[in-house]
């Protein structure tokens, strides 16, 4: 594919730790297109890290900001959008993202995700006594929403090469 042809966006959704950010960066590099992460844009707009926003203003405040950002970036074309794991929670978010975008769900099992992120301390939703149980819960709750993606990509392997090639084949 010639990059100038990319008038659609590539949208990555999936649970935290599914590899969205690494895969998004690699796609951006190979296609020579901009990559935006909704979490980064939320942090930049608010001047605060996500875990601080959760702590000081609560999850609902964060979700409102996230929706605003998603609405804005969805209007762009030819970019890779790395979405926060909860971006699918509001129906309108997915509708906006699908407007100009091909949506890929990066599927990884709760166990794989837990192994990847168990030593990271900055995830507000996982600051609980049983993080694996919490990941399983989130996975179960969100699966029907993630399944609304155009494509599901297996992201269980430690290497990002497989998912990157899969996505490039589909666009
Ligand atoms: C969240 C995932 C995070 C971030 C916030 C909430 C979620 O993004 O948006 O902590 O609800 O799953 P990543 O999936 O990029 O870690």
Dihedral pair phi/psi, residue 59, rounded to 5°: -65, -40
Ligand 1 pocket check for 84: Cβ under 6 Å: yes
Cα separations in angstroms, 54 against 42, 58, 71: 12, 4, 21
Ligand 1 pocket check for 70: Cβ under 6 Å: no
Ligand 1 pocket check for 14: Cβ under 6 Å: no
Mean confidence (pLDDT) of the chain: 95
Compute, in angstroms, the gap from residue 5 CA to the centroid of ligand 1: 31
Give the separation between CA 93 and CA 99, rounded to whole angstroms: 10
Where is pLDDT greater, at 66 or 120?
66
Interval 86-136: pLDDT, tens:
999 999 999 999 999 999 999 999 999 999 998 887 787 888 899 999 999
In this prediction, residue 3 has a pLDDT band, given cuts at 50, 70 and 90, of: low
**Which one of 39, 51, 113 would you pick to mutate in the ligand 1 pocket, going by the greatest count of ligand atoms within 8 A of its CB?**
39
**Which one of 15, 16, 45, 126 would you pick to mutate in the ligand 1 pocket, going by the greatest count of ligand atoms within 8 A of its CB?**
16
Interval 134-156: pLDDT, tens:
999 999 999 999 999 999 999 99
- Dihedral through CA 12, CA 18, CA 24, CA 27, nearest 10? -100
Q: Which atom of ligand 1 is nearest to the CA of 66?
A: 9
Compute, in angstroms, the gap from residue 4 CA to the centroid of ligand 1: 31
**Which one of 18, 45, 84 would you pick to mutate in the ligand 1 pocket, going by the greatest count of ligand atoms within 8 A of its CB?**
84
Ligand 1 pocket check for 16: Cβ under 6 Å: yes
């Amino acid at each position: 594919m010639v990059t100038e042809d990319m008038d659609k966006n590539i949208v990555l959704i999936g649970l935290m730790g599914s590899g969205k950010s690494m895969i998004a960066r690699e796609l951006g590099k190979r296609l020579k297109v901009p990559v935006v992460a909704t979490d980064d844009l939320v942090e930049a707009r608010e001047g605060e890290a996500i875990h601080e926003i959760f702590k000081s203003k609560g999850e609902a405040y964060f979700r409102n900001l996230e929706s605003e950002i998603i609405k804005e970036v969805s209007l762009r074309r030819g970019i890779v959008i790395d979405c926060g794991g909860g971006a699918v929670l509001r129906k309108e978010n997915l509708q906006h993202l699908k407007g100009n975008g091909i949506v890929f769900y990066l599927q990884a099992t709760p166990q794989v995700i837990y192994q990847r992120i168990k030593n990271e301390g900055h995830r507000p939703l996982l600051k609980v006594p049983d993080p694996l149980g919490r990941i399983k819960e989130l996975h179960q709750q969100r699966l029907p929403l993630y399944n609304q993606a155009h494509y599901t990509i297996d992201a269980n392997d430690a290497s990002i090469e497989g998912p990157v090639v899969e996505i490039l084949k589909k666009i």
